[in-house]
Chain A
């Protein structure tokens, strides 16, 4: 029970952190520009302000987009769980003592490096106790509530295995979205 509460707390703190980061990324630059504009003399300058039509959705390089220990890593766009890269494994292999789930969650992620969309399979690593120092991430972009079961990721994929204990999640490139 304590573990469940701990996991919920971790999920909440991860979510809040993620939201805060995202809102900082989305609003920081624009409000700074607005303040600068306030100091500047001449209203005409305002109409030249760059208006963010992407709603802050484009990740800027250098924010973890290419760091596989960061939630911002491009392959983790639909991930919900602990990063195996921070729990003794790698981005594509489970840590020693854990086995990959039989079933997995597959999504598409955009790689800003080559501007292509890839199919990413998120396997949970099972049968090993969760490591409290691991980085928790909740991105699940494109996820839908449980009434769209095919697009719902709030699931312990270890349920298909004999050892159902969840340890961490890896992100395998399984193809190109073409």
Chain B
């Protein structure tokens, strides 16, 4: 074997060596746009953790919200809202639910957590959300959430229930 053929052999082996791993690594990334954060959230099952992640930023850790910034508090207001059928449709369409990217299972858990924590004395007569009901509620078309809320608020006022302050009355 001359020196030249030896080098040619090395070059071919080099080419193969370089291209082979590239070919085998051309398999698609398993995530398909799901980043690590999405993966972590999808595995989350603790209603409290889900509340902390998806709701507490605005509704705050204590559920008291920031009424001066337009975020209604839960205590005293969530129970009457969740006892009204249209109120339940409204709850299923608030921005935090619509934009949450959580599954219906996770959403039902987190909504029931809010009722457990902040419905107070009314917790026992406030119906909880099931996955099936939530799926149905979310499919109910609500084109104008503010208008829809206004209608729910009027019903609550008529039945003598308390209504939280809201920046778009």
List residues of A whose CB falls within 8 A of some B CB. 41-47, 49, 51, 53, 55, 57, 78, 102-108, 110, 117, 119, 121, 141-142, 148-151, 159-162, 174-178
Contacts and interface: CB of A to CB of B under 8 A. Distances in A.
B46 A178 contact: yes
B20 A178 contact: no
B66 interface: yes
B101 A43 contact: no
Interface of B: 10-18, 20-21, 25, 29, 35-38, 40-41, 44-46, 48-49, 52-54, 56-58, 60-61, 66, 68-69, 71, 95-96, 99-101
B36 A110 contact: yes
Nearest to B37: A142
Contacts of B10: 41-43
B16 A178 contact: no
8 contacts: A51-B25, A106-B57, A107-B37, A108-B37, A110-B40, A151-B99, A174-B52, A177-B49
Contacts of A104: 56-57
B49 A102 contact: no
Q: Interface on chain B toward A: helix, strand, loop, or mixed SS?
A: helix
Given A119-B53, A177-B49, A178-B49, A47 B69 contact: no
Contact of A150 (B15, B20, B66, B99): B99
A177 B102 CA distance: 14
Given A106-B52, A141-B35, A149-B99, A174 B61 contact: yes
B21 A46 contact: yes
A105 to B, nearest CB: 6
A43 B36 contact: no
A119 B25 CA distance: 33
Contacts of A110: 36, 40
A105 B54 CA distance: 9
A46 B11 CA distance: 12
B25 A53 contact: yes
B37 A178 contact: no
Contacts of A162: 68
B52 A44 contact: no
A44 B21 CA distance: 12
